[in-house]
């Protein structure tokens, strides 16, 4: 089956960087597209840079063997830690996450906690002829928002949709599985306009979105690097402000657990923490060498916030897995996965290493619901599982069928036992507790609905009653099947 990814993907989009890193071994994406430099050439440059670093270390009289982990870590930092080419605000904004408790979460549906599996039934289709790059919803699933390449933000009435107020036509149902009969009920939409040079307003694709829990406002990422702040509940669709620091498309947006801050990631390789009370930058995270593909906060509860207040630690120069402070995980398209202690502005990130013979690629990563494990989707039909605080290498790798294609989206389910993996061919729910020795049993179930096409994200609501899988390539590479499907989750004991 065609995965939708062509062989030139890594050559065109994988590596980023500037003259400050790798002594020219790393280059900007646009430069690579112009020169046609191959991955083999880049890997050769990387190897040369590493060999040069070894030679310099030997000349300096370090005399430390090549296999010494500390030396390899220091060389990795020297070679791969990028500089943040963005002017910080003076005075900076506040790290709001450290000043306010996280908002209360919606309770889980009955039977979810500790259930042995889920019955996942596709029942809804939100019809949209354009690729959908991003989806977000209020925690109570009252309102759902989608955005993509068409340049419009669409607001859907999810209650009316799930109750079947509008049904699909026979023509719309023709290519879908029989259980999908409910059509998405659109409530409103507005132009996703950006202000470009000369003050001209024009439509911009919606690369990312995040919405306030009470739907008071919504933020969206634009092609120019601007972040739009939109009014939703009152004077819907009015652009309140533009946050302007990024220089390329804003690919990821995450509202902080306290809802007073915002973290953004962009194709310019920068990750920024915004203070939404003032619109000023509170911190920049410099370390990635390619386009940012995902950002996730480690689950952060009121109990953890109170423990942080009681602690006198403010974070050190090294990442500490025993920290009482909030942890941020970021990934980039070149496969980097970094963990950050939000409290310590000058602390180096903790990298999670890519296994040998694994292509350097990642568009999605997620935390387990208890915050103890991390899952990173890879290009070679696999998902790497890391244990927080247990080193930099994965504790195991989940391998999907060889023809499944790259893993483009992941989401952990609330029972702590299942992981949703979206590949080019299908969506699967993986049973993480099935013993490896039971090879006679397939460790996952295939969810009907999607057959071919790139899934841009997997969205599961906080109560674990519903799931959404929009189709789109997020502006990178891959094909879309034009479906945005909704599923009803039923716990099974």
pLDDT tens digit sequence for 288-297: 999 999 999 9
In tens, the pLDDT along 76-135 reads 444 345 678 888 898 999 999 888 999 988 999 999 988 999 999 999 999 988 999 999
Q: Is the pLDDT of residue 44 over 60?
A: no
Instruction: Please give the pLDDT value at position 398.
Output: 93
Q: Is the pLDDT of residue 472 over 50?
A: yes
Helices (H) and strands (E) in the chain, counts: 7, 31
Q: In sequence order, what are the beta bridge partners of 172? A: none
From the list 399, 432, 401, 397, the residue with the least C-alpha distance to 414 is 432
Say which DSSP state 439 is in. Answer: T
Q: In sequence order, what are the beta bridge partners of 132? A: 148
Q: What 3-state class would DSSP assign to 122?
A: strand
Instruction: Please give the pLDDT value at position 311.
Output: 73
In this structure, are residues 204 and 192 in contact, taking their beta carbons and an 8 Å threshold? yes
The count of residues in the chain is 493
Helix (H) or strand (E) holding 70: helix 69-80
DSSP assignment of 207-274 equals -EEEE-TTSSEEEEE-TTSEEEEEE-SSSTT-EEEEEE--SS-EEEEEE-TTSSEEEEEETTS-EEEE
- For residue 99, what are the contacts with CB-CB under 8 A and spacing of at least 6? 258, 260
Q: Tokens for 73?
A: 């870590």
How does the average pLDDT of the chain come out, rounded?
A: 83
Q: Tokens for 164?
A: 């079947």
Distance CA 228, CA 145 (A): 15
Distance CA 148, CA 144 (A): 14
Instruction: Please give the pLDDT value at position 324.
Output: 65
Distance CA 93, CA 99 (A): 12
Instruction: Please give the pLDDT value at position 73.
Output: 46
Q: Is the pLDDT of residue 200 over 50?
A: yes
Q: Is the pLDDT of residue 47 over 60?
A: no
Q: Is the pLDDT of residue 339 over 90?
A: yes
Strands 152-157, 143-148: pairing kind: antiparallel
Distance CA 248, CA 268 (A): 5
In this structure, are residues 168 and 181 in contact, taking their beta carbons and an 8 Å threshold? yes
Range of lowest pLDDT (6-10, 260-264, 362-366): 6-10
């Amino acid at each position: 089956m065609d995965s939708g990814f062509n062989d030139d993907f890594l050559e065109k989009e994988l590596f980023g960087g500037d003259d400050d890193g790798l002594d020219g071994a790393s280059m900007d994406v646009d430069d690579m597209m112009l020169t046609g430099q191959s991955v083999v050439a880049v890997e050769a440059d990387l190897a040369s840079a590493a060999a040069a670093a070894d030679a310099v270390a030997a000349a300096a009289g370090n005399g430390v063997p090549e296999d010494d982990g500390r030396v390899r870590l220091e060389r990795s930092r020297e070679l791969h830690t990028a500089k943040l080419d963005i002017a910080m605000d003076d005075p900076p904004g506040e790290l709001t996450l450290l000043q306010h408790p996280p908002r209360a979460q919606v309770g889980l549906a009955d039977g979810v906690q500790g259930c042995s599996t889920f019955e996942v039934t596709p029942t809804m289709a939100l019809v949209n002829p354009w690729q959908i790059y991003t989806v977000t919803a209020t925690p109570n699933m009252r309102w759902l928002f989608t955005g993509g390449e068409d340049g419009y933000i669409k607001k859907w009435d999810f209650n009316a949709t799930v109750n079947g107020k509008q049904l699909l036509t026979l023509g719309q149902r023709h290519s879908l599985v029989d259980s999908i009969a409910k059509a998405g009920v659109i409530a409103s939409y507005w132009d996703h306009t950006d202000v470009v040079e000369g003050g001209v307003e024009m439509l911009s694709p919606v690369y990312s979105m995040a919405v306030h829990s009470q739907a008071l406002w919504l933020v969206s990422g634009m092609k120019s690097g601007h972040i739009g702040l939109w009014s939703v509940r009152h004077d819907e669709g009015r652009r309140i402000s533009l946050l302007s620091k990024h220089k390329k498309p804003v690919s990821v947006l995450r509202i902080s657990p306290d809802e007073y801050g915002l973290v953004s990631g962009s194709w310019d390789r920068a990750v920024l923490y915004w203070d939404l009370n003032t619109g000023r930058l509170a911190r920049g995270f410099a370390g990635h060498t390619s386009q940012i593909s995902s950002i996730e906060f480690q689950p952060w509860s009121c109990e953890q916030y109170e423990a942080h207040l009681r602690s006198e630690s403010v974070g050190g120069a090294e990442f500490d897995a025993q920290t009482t402070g909030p942890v941020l995980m970021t990934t980039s398209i070149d496969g980097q996965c970094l963990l950050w202690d939000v409290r310590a502005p000058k602390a180096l990130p903790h990298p999670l290493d890519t296994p040998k013979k694994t292509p350097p690629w990642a568009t999605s990563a997620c935390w387990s619901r208890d915050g103890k494990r991390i899952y990173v989707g890879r290009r070679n039909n696999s998902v790497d599982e890391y244990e927080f605080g247990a080193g930099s290498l994965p504790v195991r790798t989940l391998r999907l069928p060889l023809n499944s294609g790259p893993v483009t989206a992941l989401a952990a389910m609330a029972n702590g036992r299942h992981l949703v993996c979206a590949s080019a061919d299908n969506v699967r729910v993986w049973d993480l507790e099935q013993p490896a020795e039971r090879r006679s049993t397939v460790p996952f179930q295939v969810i009907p609905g999607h057959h071919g096409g790139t899934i841009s994200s997997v969205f599961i609501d906080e109560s674990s009653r519903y799931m959404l899988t929009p189709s789109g390539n997020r502006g990178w590479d891959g094909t879309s099947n034009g479906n945005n499907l909704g599923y009803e989750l039923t716990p099974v004991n």
